[in-house]
Amino acid sequence: MIRDASLDDAAALAEVHVTSWQEAYRGLIDQAFLDSLDVADRTEAWDRILRQHRARVLVAEDDRGVVGFCTVGQSSDDGWGEVFSIYLSPDHWGLGVGRRLLAFGEQALSEAGEKRALLWVLDTNRRARGFYERQGWMLARPIRIEKFGEFDVTEVRYEKSLTLP
């Protein structure tokens, strides 16, 4: 099931966030940074995010609870919606949950009036890039440098039209 997140989901979101980063980014970013990720710190951050209502947070859950999330909203780039994040518990990768979650995020952006969307992904994250490409996202020209802990990483931008051809 996919639904909007509630304040009660902060700890579950943090758990998914930390475990997915530690698995997805292993070998791609600094291991000491990944090891330093803390569920309690992320819970506080998620509590703030959920209280601010700046982005729509969707959660995927099964009978055990929250297994993934997707955050979407208006981009700082005028005229664009944005998928700010999408993460799943590693034991749910490859089961179709991410595909459904991303589709719900795209639908939420479309319902909010967005005609096109963008997202950023670590340039070396081949698994994620392949996932987005299979969902119809197209690699765009812009790149950006972000900080993960003390280290700079390069992200590439993907774009997608949210209107039917």
Q: For residue range 123-154, what is the model confidence (pLDDT) as tens digits?
A: 999 999 999 999 999 999 889 999 887 889 99
* Beta bridge partner(s), residue 65: 62
Total-model pTM: 0.93
For residue 116, give the H/E element and its range: strand 116-122
- The CA–CA distances, whole Å, from 5 to 85, 98, 105 equal 14, 16, 13
Homologous superfamily of the 2-161 domain (CATH): Gcn5-related N-acetyltransferase (GNAT) (3.40.630.30)
For 92, the 3-state DSSP assignment is helix
What residues does each domain of the chain span? 2-161
pLDDT given for residue 165 in this prediction: 57
Rounded to the nearest 10 degrees, what angle do helices 39-52 and 10-24 cross at? 120
CB distance 13 to 46 below 8 Å: yes
Q: Could you count the other beta carbons within 10 Å of the beta carbon of residue 95? A: 12
- Amino acid at the residue 92: H
Tens digit of pLDDT at every position of the chain (165 positions) = 999 999 999 999 999 999 999 999 999 998 999 999 999 999 999 999 999 988 999 999 999 999 999 999 999 988 999 999 999 999 999 999 999 999 999 999 999 999 999 999 999 999 999 999 999 999 998 899 998 878 899 999 999 999 865
